[in-house]
Amino acid sequence: MALISYAQAACQALAAAMRADPRVLALGEDVGRGGIFGQYKGLQQEFGAARIIDTPISEATIMGAAVGMALTGLRPVVEMRVADFALCAIDEIVNQAAKNRYMFGGQGRVPLVARLPIGIWSASAAQHSQSLEAWFAHIPGLVVVAPATPADNHALLAAAIACDDPVIYMEHKELWALQGEPPAPDPAVLGKARVVRAGADLTLVTWSKLVHTAVEAAGRAAQHGIAVEVIDLRTIWPWDRDLVLDSAARTGRLLVAHEAVQAGGFGAEIAATVAEELGIPVRRVGAPRIPVGYARTLEDVARISAERLLEELTTFVQRDAQRRPAA
């Protein structure tokens, strides 16, 4: 079976949506030449410059134009290059796209997809390496998606384009070349997580690139007799409460891990929900509250490695087992 890259999967999903619906278009910087990660490669040649639209270097202008397009019936896919740059368009996202449906009683809808690549981008420093998913999950009216695999980047992007509300679509900057199985023919269901690895001793919830780190750590933990259940959240908002709660109720422990800064991260929402609903031990793993450094030694301080995850989950299980009364 031929493999497909993360970037190719997204490109194919967008192409299929554009062929099926003339209202779908894309706009942003460098999309005509294929995008900086190749995620639009060949699309302008197929669909023309009127549907794969190169724009000036002004994120506020790009997003403002997309909101207007969506309100008039189009379904724009908006390229922000990296999530860090989208901060220049925060008013258009938060005060216009997210709130329009509510403020006008459903008369207006903003079915746009804003592609905001997240995560540490090697040797790209503090202004190109942020994970800001918690910011957007906090805003009523926004759907927030974070695909971890090529198959999901196809299925979730198709679902995002079909969604009638604004979607913040957060691909990881270091996953574009990742090879994986071809996508299933049907789009995914937004708000549905998946169990990547089954286990009985601890539930580990994560998303985006860290899913692969979590699977590696879980494999190492198995050598120490700890069976970790790894859940890929896939959609940050809405998130799959039922799947997470069911898993955590079975394992009796929850660890949430994300590349974003731990302070105020979305992991806190998941941990608090599980603690309130189940009363079981919970822990979080996230980056320290520091800018990502340019030097590799500084950058590594902000990364969540498999070694760190393994240490955290092993310590968690061992200490919790010691606290529990003997049977």
pLDDT for residue 2: 87
User: Catalytic amino acids?
Assistant: 128
In angstroms, the CA 156 to CA 169 distance is 9
pLDDT for residue 183: 82
Predicted model pTM: 0.96
Of the chain, the percentage scoring pLDDT greater than 90 comes to 94
pLDDT for residue 323: 86
Question: For 4-180, which CATH superfamily applies?
Answer: Thiamin diphosphate (ThDP)-binding fold, Pyr/PP domains (3.40.50.970)
Please state the rounded mean pLDDT for residues 126-137. Answer: 96
User: What is the residue extent of each domain of the chain?
Assistant: 4-180, 194-323
pLDDT for residue 326: 64
Please state the rounded mean pLDDT for residues 77-88. Answer: 96
Does pLDDT of 327 surpass 80? no
Does pLDDT of 129 surpass 90? yes
Please state the rounded mean pLDDT for residues 62-79. Answer: 98
pLDDT in tens, 253-265: 999 999 999 999 9
Does pLDDT of 309 surpass 70? yes
Please state the rounded mean pLDDT for residues 239-246. Answer: 98
Does pLDDT of 87 surpass 90? yes
DSSP for 64-111? HHHHHHHHTT-EEEEE-SSGGGGGGGHHIIIIIITTHHHHTTTS----
Please state the rounded mean pLDDT for residues 13-20. Answer: 98
In angstroms, the CA 284 to CA 233 distance is 15
pLDDT for residue 1: 66
User: 194-323: same fold as 4-180?
Assistant: yes
Strand partners, 169: 115, 145
Q: Cβ distance 234 to 188 under 8 Å?
A: yes
DSSP for 296-319? HHHHHHHS--HHHHHHHHHHHHHH
Please state the rounded mean pLDDT for residues 84-95. Answer: 97
Does pLDDT of 202 surpass 70? yes
In angstroms, the CA 244 to CA 273 distance is 10
Instruction: Specify the fold of 194-323.
Output: Rossmann fold (3.40.50)
Lowest-confidence pick of 29-43, 115-129, 154-168, 178-192:
178-192
In angstroms, the CA 278 to CA 242 distance is 12
Closest to 261 (Cα-Cα) out of 213, 310, 302 = 302
Q: What is the mean pLDDT of the chain?
A: 96
Closest to 251 (Cα-Cα) out of 206, 299, 201, 210 = 201
